[in-house]
Amino acid sequence: MTDTTWAAYAEAGVERALALGNRGPVRLGDEGHLVQDILDAYRENGFYVFTDVLDEDEVNDLATEFDDVLDNVPTGLNGDTDRYGRPSPFGGYFTMVEDEDDPDAPARVSLLSHPFIYMESTVRAYAHPKILAIAESLYGPDFVPFHEGIFYKAPGNGFPTRWHQDGRTHWTEAGEALEQPDGTGKCHGYNMSVSWSNCTAENCLWVVPGSHRQWLLAKGGKFPPITERLPDAVPMLLEPGDCGIVNRSALHGSYPNKSAERRVTMVLGFHKRSSAIGATTTNVHAFKQPGTDTKKITYTKDYVLRRARMIPLAIGARRQHRPDETPFKYRGTYIGKATWNEETRSEICREGDEYWRRDITL
């Protein structure tokens, strides 16, 4: 669909998205798990938008701390100072892109990886009781982490993200998903976009509903170029405080942001523990800048449980900040101290053994 105008394509996409029936508030049953119609809608479409998950105070905390970090990004690809000449100590975590049309323009940041290192508000948001209840509802009490990063599309100059499927491990040779329609079977987990901006058709992620059942790269296949406006794709529309989950097997991507609004979303995710331990795959996330390197790996129980420690640590950080809130009770197993204090804060940032070195690509 390349012969229609962008405005018409976007309008039709919004109409399709709102007709899917896969958006609304987090609704939990008596056991604290998502009600069945939400589970059914997610499993059918491969994504779901949860509205009004974070309150205004938390959205403001995230936006304020993010803007402070954004103001301190380096000016060049390998720079170590910001535009004010101040040291930019976390610049190595930022994926910077240069403007091909203006080589003298400052490089722009598009991805801020592993934000638990430099944004404590993201640690607290990660442990939101509703966010963790979603994970337990889908993957059981021993769900484990995937990875975290902040995607940033600046107004008028955000770069596109190609059409792709993240999952690379749990497919048959013919490219059929091992994950079954009822959610059983090995799976690739999900990405959750936690938004503190308006994510519109012009700047947001687009998803092809139902595309999580078949791997396009099987048998020599390939992904379509992002220049192709896929006729079945829909925008994942988010307002500040909303959270959208996307099955990591689903086909998704984003077009260049030509709007006047920025898009800022923290992407986090979770896996079934049984899908992670023992899986052999190529890890692309356990690097300071994901995608810059790869490693073949078989995930051991020790590896996965040490990464799982981040869940109770985050719960502790949130409990200290919001003592009147009933915290989520994580029932999974983990290795390491789980009390949030200066000691553990330093441990997850320890050079050479940072928490993200055990990110779990599937």
What per-residue confidence (pLDDT) applies to 108? Answer: 83
Q: For the residues 254-264, what does the mean pLDDT come to?
A: 94
Q: How far is CA 273 from CA 86, 126, 164, in A?
A: 42, 18, 24
Q: For the residues 134-140, what does the mean pLDDT come to?
A: 99
The pLDDT tens digits of the residues spanning 143-191 come to 999 999 999 999 987 778 999 999 999 999 999 999 999 999 999 999 9
What per-residue confidence (pLDDT) applies to 2? Answer: 56
Identity of residue 100: E
What per-residue confidence (pLDDT) applies to 3? Answer: 63
What per-residue confidence (pLDDT) applies to 86? Answer: 95
What per-residue confidence (pLDDT) applies to 4? Answer: 80
What per-residue confidence (pLDDT) applies to 17? Answer: 98
Residue 76 pLDDT class (50, 70, 90 cuts): confident
Question: Mean pLDDT of all residues in the chain?
Answer: 95
End-to-end CA distance of the chain: 31
pTM for the model stands at 0.96
Secondary structure (DSSP) of 126-186:
HT-HHHHHHHHHHH-TT-EE---EEEEE-TTTBPPEEEE----SSB-TT-BBSS-TTS-S-
With contact defined as beta carbons under 8 Å apart, do 30 and 36 qualify? no
The pLDDT tens digits of the residues spanning 283-292 come to 999 999 999 9
With contact defined as beta carbons under 8 Å apart, do 50 and 130 qualify? yes
Annotation: CATH topology of 6-276:
Jelly Rolls (2.60.120)
The pLDDT tens digits of the residues spanning 291-316 come to 999 999 999 999 999 999 999 999 99
Question: Residue 12, SS3?
Answer: helix
Q: At what angle do helices 342-349 and 310-321 cross, to 10 degrees?
A: 140
Residue 132 pLDDT class (50, 70, 90 cuts): very high
